[in-house]
Chains A and B, each alone.
Chain A
Amino acid sequence: MRKLSQYVVAGWLLAPASAVACPWCGSAISEQVRAEILGGDFAANLAVAALPFPVLLAIVAIVYFWPANATSRERPETKP
């Protein structure tokens, strides 16, 4: 038990020395990360990251709604 508490204290003392890099925690790097993500380029980055997806859905919509008689042709039935 005593050893465990020593580990906890040691970990607590060493924790500030380790790097913390996540967008939403309070480290100095995290503030940079947040600034880069949510800065002035956010809308532009969002637009370019999302752009292929509406294009892909538009292609599917074209396939789905293309007039049936433009692609579907009845096969001629053979006479007996």
Chain B
Amino acid sequence: MTASALETRDALANRPRLARRPLIAAGMVLGMGLGGFVDGIVAHQLFQVHNMLSARYPTRGVDAETLAVNLEVNMFWDGLFHAFTWVLTVVGLFLLWRAIRQSHVARSGNTLVGSMLLGWGLFNLVEGIINHHILHIHHVIEGPGHLPADLAFLVFGGALVGGGIAMIWADGGRDLEMKA
């Protein structure tokens, strides 16, 4: 091996280690916020299969006046849900901004995207387990026979978590640091 090749190898081996943890945390929070928006926009508004408290204030099988009241009540709590996801997104952006301004923090697109997928998946798992299965404040598709859709929501969340971890792992292994 030539001297220059040895020098190159030593230089590569002695590269400073970059922290990935701030980037992963930022990506996770950003993914949670944006994942919440996906839930709110797609399920609550576009397909209207459920609302935030639609198991308590049903919008199916009720008379017109009750429907009007329950829709308004659900709209209020949907708004609050979107406010929370908005706050998460802003916190995620703040963390990302802070992370990329630090010279010792890795700037890896794969780690960031993987972290966002991880955050989105965690959002689905936590929201699904708490709201659909423990508190029963709503279900993915409201009404009798809601379990398959609720479980599919969890499976989708698990797949996002798995995909996100795989991307983070592929980018730097188990280490929460990577070479520059």
A binding-site residues for B, Cβ under 8 Å: 19, 21-23, 29-30, 32-33, 36-37, 45-46, 48-53, 55-57, 59-60, 63-64, 68, 71-73, 75, 77-78, 80
Q: Are A50 and B135 in contact (CB under 8 A)?
A: no
Q: Out of A59, A71, A73, A80, name the residue touching B1 (CB < 8 Å).
A: A80
Question: B152: CB under 8 A from chain A?
Answer: no
Most buried by B among A33, A56, A63, A73: A56
Distance of A51 Cα from B70 Cα, bound (Å): 22
Q: Once the chains are docked, how many angstroms separate the CA of A72 from the CA of B6?
A: 27
Q: Which residue of B lies closest to A51 (CB)?
A: B130
On whether the beta carbons of B122 and A56 are closer than 8 Å, the reply is yes
Number of A-B contacts (CB under 8 A): 94
B80 near A: Cβ within 8 Å? Answer: yes
Q: List residues of B (50-104) whose CB comes within 8 Å of A's CBs.
A: 52-53, 56-57, 65, 68-73, 76-77, 80-81, 84, 87-88
**Alpha-carbon gap, A59 to B24, bound state (A):** 12
Q: Is the CB of A60 within 8 A of B72?
A: no
